[in-house]
């Protein structure tokens, strides 16, 4: 490659950086055949279509069937219309347990994850290279910890008989191991789950927001500071508007993850359905569908979860599209 092309490289990079609406790429005109993009896309589309889109449609179709073990073994089709949904919508488990456990938990987790992540990013941006290196390494460790291991550790720490937290609290007389069980109390159970999910989720937000912060031009921030704008105003009037697309992505992804939290609930004592007060939409669907072999009913619960999630995220998505980020 010649030097000229390297220079080219630099300009092209700069061209793609601004957040301004970029026109769709119009490249390789006449150099490549028109079917080529479709040929390149075909394998990915086949896999996504066959294993994500098709099963998703199938969930909807299962949800209007009475599909159990018999149908699984012998095949056949038992259309029941909206019976499953009627049963779910009249079931207090939905209104008193699964829905609040899902929605309130997700809302709290998203807010906490994004706030904590953003604060950590702002801190990282202020630290010197040494401090930033150490802290980034530590939060990467939190990020890389599998949900399974993380959940086991929190269960261990909060263990009601021997756990560290119980020992600490009982030694100062704040809790009694004989009468307290965090894992049977809904609020305590979901607080531990929140701690777990936020711990696992904030590094993604911090790293992404930090990367965005580094794209905010320093000159603008510095001149605003010289003009007398405090840190709070600088953040809301300069940093935040520039980073809006990044915040949008971070919020959308956190919402998706936190609405369907499964492993962290399922692996906690009582979370797999033995204590029905602790069910969320994901574990409820799994309990009915897979554990009890009521595939149709479980699918209907899954449909409720999916519709809810799509409704919530479509609001964010619309904002993304308005900003022409695609």
User: 226 to 245, contacts with other proteins by CB under 8 A?
Assistant: 226, 228, 245
Residues in 157-186 that interact with other proteins by CB under 8 A: 157, 159, 161-164, 167
> Contact with other proteins (CB under 8 A): which of 113, 150, 278, 287?
150
Among 94, 112, 279, 299, binds other proteins (CB under 8 A): 299
- Would you say 96 or 167 has its CB closer to other proteins? 167
Q: Which of 105, 154, 183, 189 binds other proteins (CB under 8 A)?
A: 154
CB atoms within 10 A of CB 2: 7
| Cβ 272 to other proteins shortest distance, Å | 10
Q: Which of 103, 147, 175, 188 binds other proteins (CB under 8 A)?
A: 147
Q: Which residue has the tokens 């619960």?
A: 301
> Would you count residue 305 as binding other proteins (CB under 8 A)?
yes
Instruction: Give the CA count within 13 Å in the CB-facing half-sphere of 323.
Output: 17
Hey, which residues between 52 and 111 contact other proteins (CB under 8 A)?
52-53, 55-56, 58-59, 62, 67, 72
Cβ 99 vs Cβ 312: under 8 Å:
no
- Contact with other proteins (CB under 8 A): which of 112, 182, 194, 212? 212
Alpha helices in the chain (DSSP H): 3-16, 36-48, 54-62, 69-74, 83-89, 92, 99-126, 129-144, 147-157, 164-171, 186-213, 218-226, 231-234, 240-259, 263-266, 281-286, 295-322
Nearest alpha-carbon partner for 148 in 231, 268, 38: 268
Q: Could you give the CA distance from residue 218 to residue 234 in angstroms, rounded to a whole number? A: 11
Q: Count the residues of the shown chain that bind other proteins, applying the rule CB under 8 A.
A: 121
CB of 143 to other proteins, least distance (A): 7
Contact window for other proteins (CB under 8 A) among 87-95, 173-181, 185-193, 280-288: 280-288
Q: Distance between CA atoms of 238 and 216, rounded to whole angstroms?
A: 8
Which of 264, 279, 307, 274 has the alpha carbon at shortest distance from 96? 279
DSSP characters over 265-276: HHTSTTTTTTSG
In angstroms, give the least distance from the CB of 277 to other proteins: 20
* Candidate ranges 84-92, 93-101, 185-193, 213-221; the one touching other proteins (CB under 8 A): 213-221
- Rounded Cα distance between 58 and 65, Å, is 11
* Window of 87-95, 103-111, 137-145, 172-180 that interacts with other proteins by CB under 8 A: 137-145
Q: Provide the minimum distance between the beta carbon of 48 and other proteins in the complex, in angstroms, as a whole number.
A: 6
């Amino acid at each position: 490659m010649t030097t000229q092309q390297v220079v080219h490289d630099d300009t092209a990079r700069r061209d793609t950086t601004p957040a301004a609406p970029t026109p769709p790429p119009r490249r390789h005109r006449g150099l490549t055949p028109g079917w080529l993009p479709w040929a390149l896309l075909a394998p990915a589309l086949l896999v996504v279509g066959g294993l994500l889109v098709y099963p998703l449609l199938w969930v909807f179709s299962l949800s209007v069937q009475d599909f159990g073990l018999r149908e699984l073994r012998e095949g056949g089709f038992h259309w029941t219309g909206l019976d499953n949904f009627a049963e779910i919508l009249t079931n207090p488990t939905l209104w008193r347990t699964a829905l609040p456990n899902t929605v309130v938990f997700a809302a709290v987790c998203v807010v906490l994850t994004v706030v904590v992540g953003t604060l950590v990013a702002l801190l990282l941006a202020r630290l010197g290279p040494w401090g930033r290196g150490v802290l980034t390494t530590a939060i990467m460790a939190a990020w890389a910890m599998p949900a399974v291991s993380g959940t086991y550790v929190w269960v261990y720490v909060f263990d009601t008989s021997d756990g560290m937290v119980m020992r600490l609290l009982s030694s100062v007389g704040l809790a009694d191991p004989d009468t307290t069980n965090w894992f049977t109390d809904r609020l305590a159970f979901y607080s531990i789950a929140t701690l777990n999910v936020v711990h696992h989720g904030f590094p993604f937000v911090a790293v992404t927001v930090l990367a965005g912060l580094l794209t905010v031009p320093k000159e603008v921030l510095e001149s605003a500071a010289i003009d007398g704008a405090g840190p709070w105003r600088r953040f809301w009037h300069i940093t935040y508007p520039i980073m809006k697309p990044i915040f949008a992505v971070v919020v959308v992804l956190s919402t998706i993850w936190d609405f369907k939290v499964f492993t962290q609930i399922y692996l906690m004592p009582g979370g797999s359905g033995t204590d029905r007060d602790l069910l969320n939409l994901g574990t409820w669907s799994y309990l009915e569908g897979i554990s009890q072999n009521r595939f149709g009913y479980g699918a209907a619960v899954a449909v409720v979860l999916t519709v809810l999630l799509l409704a919530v995220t479509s609001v964010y998505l619309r904002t993304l599209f308005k900003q022409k980020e695609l």
